[in-house]
Structure 1
Amino acid sequence: MRAERLLNIMFLLQNRDIVTTERLADELNVSRRTILRDMDALSLAGIPVYALRGKHGGWTILESFKTNLSYLKPEEIHALIASPSDKVLKDLGINKGTIDIREKLLSSLPESDTVKTRIFWERIYIDTGTWRESREDTTYLEIVQQAVLENRKSTIVYKKLNDQESERTVEPLGLVAKSNKWYLIAKHENHFRNYRVSRIVSATILDEAFKRPTNFHLINYWEESKTDFIRRLPEYVVGVEVKSTMIPRMTFTSKFIHSIDTKQISKEGWTHVSLTFNDKQEAIEYILGFGNQIRVITPENLIEELLDSAQAVIRLYESF
């Protein structure tokens, strides 16, 4: 623990001009006395740390004591600084430690690059979560992760969307985090499959190892899989006219909007909009939610079903 703390002190001193004893003690969760002993130890080990007296004093380190990573381009350094979300790292069992790994990276940069990179770090934040986080069951994530890293076959019981469960033996090849959801990519019966980890209700690692396919590349596979999935999604396109005042509400999310024709605005203030849904029922529920602020143009058979649904709602409330 002390060796790690001494390294962390060096990283912090290399990144900052002057750091007080109190600040170091606070960031490393130790006492001021411990920091003073650590400074003596660093000095005895030949690390050029020294104290500056006065109101704005503190600890510093000689500027020449740097590890140079100048062979990295600025954009490459920024890519390293854009660290994955804490949740993803936590799911994988990775402890970021007392000192952020980015502090260690900054300590290895020349001063000119350190300033620019710290500005990027402090002003760019990547949030991979969703607005309303849903709690995914990751009970078996640790097990499948171990199987992936050790190239060992596993038996999983998987629950499909219809709640039917089936047991299968797979060759785990990789894990992908998509927003707040984890997917296991595995080979089953000579085919690559995607399994949502939250639907795995049982997982057992087998003693039998497997040989990883030489032609498999996780990132390429996932991107191709996403493209194929989107292409196969069902589509139900509806042409509507919407009161222009409702456009901001509809465009708050682009989930259903296919296109908005602002050139076709009538005198009454209706705008033509093309909406794309997964199926007819989804279209009916969405359109009814706008009441008399939206009217269907195509397909014509949807109008009759909307009338039936609206009348069913009226009858429901009349019965009370």
Structure 2
Amino acid sequence: MKASRLLHLLLLLQARRRITTTELAERMEVSRRTVLRDVEALSTAGVPVYAERGRSGGIVLLPGARLNASHLEPRELEALSVLGLGGEQLERLGLTTAHETAARKIAARQATTSGTQRVARLADVILVDSAAWFADPAAGVDIADLASALRHGRRMRVEYRRSAEGRATTRVVDPYGLVMKAGRWYLVADDRSNGRLFALERLPAFESLETPAALRPGQTLRTVWAALKERTESPGQVSVTARLRASRLDLARRILGNRIQKVSGAEGEWCTVVVRYPDIESVRQLLQFGDHIEVITPQAARARIVRLARDLAGRHEAPAR
């Protein structure tokens, strides 16, 4: 039995506890007979998994079972240790046990290595924290349940609240899969044949429908995500020139990213930056730099900053409500 197939089988069972032989065979892209042989081998090796016969039967992993990673190679185990999923994300995906067991297995393998120079584990020299700064624990659907439902390739009815709206609305989408970006999970799906991102913290409920997902020909999770990412991160067509205090240049690069098109004069107290936005209204983002910035051109952007600043000052001059 291949180690990768063993890991896949155990992770699927750990997330669901009970899965039909047919579904396991489809997900692992093997025959039902191969699944049954793998289950028998795991059971013989002491893993509490068994085949349950009958109409409602399937492959069952006993509650409280721990992932046995003894069949994994050291390089596979090390890869698990630096996947980049944080503790909360592993918990929501049902992979906490697998991750902990893999870490113990890596340590055990290295402790018994003889005749070779001791090399530090990747996890000792690489720490990946994928959670966003200052992020609160996100509410929403159970990611493990959603990931499991996505494997069936069906349309979904989702409840979703847009960021500018107070209540969720219902829509039917054709899902491609899940993406985790900067500590946030997104459902990538077609909404009326248009690619969309649905933040899971604003997606409180979903329902799989019987209708197969009508995905666009030739499109996959990776291709749709690439297009959405490019569209989201596009710097825009409006160029705004501003004077920025040089001591705030590093902060500006963290906040504005690739929207900064050009920087000049950074060796002095002030520098000049050219920032690209999709529209004039987006210039309000620069207000967070306070008295460390002055918008120079275009005049429409400068005038918008003036109106926003006057409105902000006016509300602070009056007594607090």
TM-score interval, smaller chain: 0.5 to 0.7
Distance 1:147 1:175 in 2: 11
Contact kept, 8 Å, 1:241 with 1:272, in 2: the verdict is yes
Write the deviation string for residues 73-115 of structure 1: whole angstroms up to 9, x where unpaired.
xxx7754431332222112122325943133256567837793
1:144 deviates by: 2.4
Determine the structure 2 residue equivalent to 1:241. 243
Write the deviation string for residues 134-169 of structure 1: whole angstroms up to 9, x where unpaired.
332223534422311334443223333443754334
- Give the unaligned 5+ runs of structure 1: 1-65
Q: Does 1:273 align with 2:276?
A: no
1:253 deviates by: 4.0
Determine the structure 1 residue equivalent to 2:200. 197
* Letter matched to residue 264 of structure 2: D
Determine the structure 2 residue equivalent to 1:262. 265
Counterpart selection for 2:222 from 208, 214, 219: 219
Contact kept, 8 Å, 1:156 with 1:168, in 2: the verdict is yes
Contact kept, 8 Å, 1:240 with 1:295, in 2: the verdict is yes
Contact kept, 8 Å, 1:170 with 1:187, in 2: the verdict is yes
Determine the structure 2 residue equivalent to 1:36. none
1:132 deviates by: 0.8
Determine the structure 1 residue equivalent to 2:299. 300
Counterpart of 1:174 in 2: which secondary structure? strand
Q: Trace 1:88-99 onto structure 2 (pairs within 5 A).
A: 88-96=89-97, 99=100
Counterpart of 1:96 in 2: which secondary structure? helix
* Letter matched to residue 283 of structure 2: A
Determine the structure 2 residue equivalent to 1:132. 134
**In 2 relative to 1, CA 262–78 (structure 1 residues): closer, same or farther, beyond 3 Å?**
farther
**In 2 relative to 1, CA 312–155 (structure 1 residues): closer, same or farther, beyond 3 Å?**
closer
Counterpart of 2:133 in 1: which secondary structure? coil
Determine the structure 2 residue equivalent to 1:103. 104
Distance 1:176 1:113 in 2: 40
Contact kept, 8 Å, 2:176 with 2:220, in 1: the verdict is no
Counterpart of 1:222 in 2: which secondary structure? helix
1:125 deviates by: 0.6
Distance 1:193 1:205 in 2: 18
Distance 2:306 2:273 in 1: 20
Determine the structure 2 residue equivalent to 1:87. 88
Distance 2:214 2:307 in 1: 58
Determine the structure 2 residue equivalent to 1:47. none
Q: How many residues align?
A: 246
Distance 1:120 1:188 in 2: 41
Q: Which has the larger radius of gyration?
A: 1
- Give the unaligned 5+ runs of structure 2: 1-69
1:318 deviates by: 5.2
Contact kept, 8 Å, 2:140 with 2:205, in 1: the verdict is no
Identical positions, percent: 17
Distance 1:289 1:212 in 2: 43
Q: Trace 1:50-199 onto structure 2 (pairs within 5 A).
A: 69=73, 78-83=78-83, 84-96=85-97, 99-105=100-106, 107=108, 111=113, 115-116=118-119, 118-163=120-165, 165-187=168-190, 193-199=196-202
* Letter matched to residue 152 of structure 2: E
1:284 deviates by: 4.1
* Letter matched to residue 230 of structure 1: E
1:305 deviates by: 3.8
Distance 1:219 1:137 in 2: 25
1:133 deviates by: 0.9
Contact kept, 8 Å, 2:77 with 2:102, in 1: the verdict is no
**In 2 relative to 1, CA 144–275 (structure 1 residues): closer, same or farther, beyond 3 Å?**
same
Write the deviation string for residues 225-251 of structure 1: whole angstroms up to 9, x where unpaired.
3124333x6454321223444445545
Determine the structure 2 residue equivalent to 1:283. 283
Counterpart of 1:160 in 2: which secondary structure? coil
Distance 2:117 2:145 in 1: 39
Distance 2:174 2:316 in 1: 55
Distance 1:182 1:145 in 2: 11
1:216 deviates by: 4.9
1:121 deviates by: 1.8
Distance 1:188 1:130 in 2: 27
**In 2 relative to 1, CA 113–127 (structure 1 residues): closer, same or farther, beyond 3 Å?**
farther
* Letter matched to residue 298 of structure 2: P
Counterpart of 2:262 in 1: which secondary structure? strand
Counterpart of 2:123 in 1: which secondary structure? helix
* Letter matched to residue 87 of structure 2: D
**In 2 relative to 1, CA 216–281 (structure 1 residues): closer, same or farther, beyond 3 Å?**
closer
Counterpart of 1:155 in 2: which secondary structure? strand
CA-based RMSD:
4.1
Distance 2:193 2:314 in 1: 55
